Amino acid sequence: MSEGEKGRIVVTCLENYGMPFIRYDTEDLGTKSEESCSCGRNLPLMNSITGRMDDLIRLPDGNVIYGGYFRYALKDSEWITKYGIVQYQVIQKKLNNIVLKIVCQKRPNQQALESLKSLVMKHLGNVTFDIEVVNEILVSVSGKRKTVISEIASQMKDSR
């Protein structure tokens, strides 16, 4: 992996003699650093953790968009302040079908919805993209409210 390139974070830890982690896939994504550790070891270092594998939206053309893109799209289009967005969730049901659910304090009109849809579609390409204004976004079984739900990611895990 070259500097700045995103890749999967896979670790090995031999601390626990009874059950060591060998090539454990954390499902996190990170970028490699070319810097050297100040301790003098020549082991590779990471710049940052950039997301999780299941936070990715896969597109029909083979490109991948990090789920955090939608947060920036909402912020850059001033939706967060203009409509008081409290929560949002992106659901990818199929490779070519994405839904953005939003909970907001002020309901956007149809023109605003179409404007946001047009902005996002520039990056998604040939997919069906819908925006749903909802009253709440449910918490998952784990007790967390996931920002990105990719049914494509779980299908890919099952096919490994």
Pull the structure tokens for residue 2: 């070259």
d(CA 64, CA 124): 9
Q: Print burial letters for 82-95: b (CB count within 10 Å at least 16), e (below 16).
A: ebebeebbbbbeee
Which phi and psi angles does 65 have, rounded to 5°? -115, 130
Question: 110-124 and 69-76 helices cross at what angle (nearest 10)?
Answer: 140
Query: What's the pLDDT band for 160 if we cut at 50, 70, 90?
Result: very low
Q: What is the pLDDT of residues 14-50, one digit of tens each?
A: 777 777 778 776 667 778 888 888 888 888 787 766 6
Beta pairing class for 6-13 and 21-33: antiparallel
Whether this model's pTM surpasses 0.75: no
Pick the CATH number of 6-158 from 3.40.50.970, 3.30.300.30, 3.60.15.10, 3.40.50.150: 3.30.300.30
Q: For residue 135, is it left (φ>0), alpha (ψ between -120 and 50) or beta?
A: alpha
The domains of the chain are located at 6-158
Among 55-64, 79-88, 127-136, the range scoring the smallest mean pLDDT is 55-64
Q: Sort 52 into a burial class: Cβ within 10 Å, 0-12 / 13-18 / 19+.
A: middle
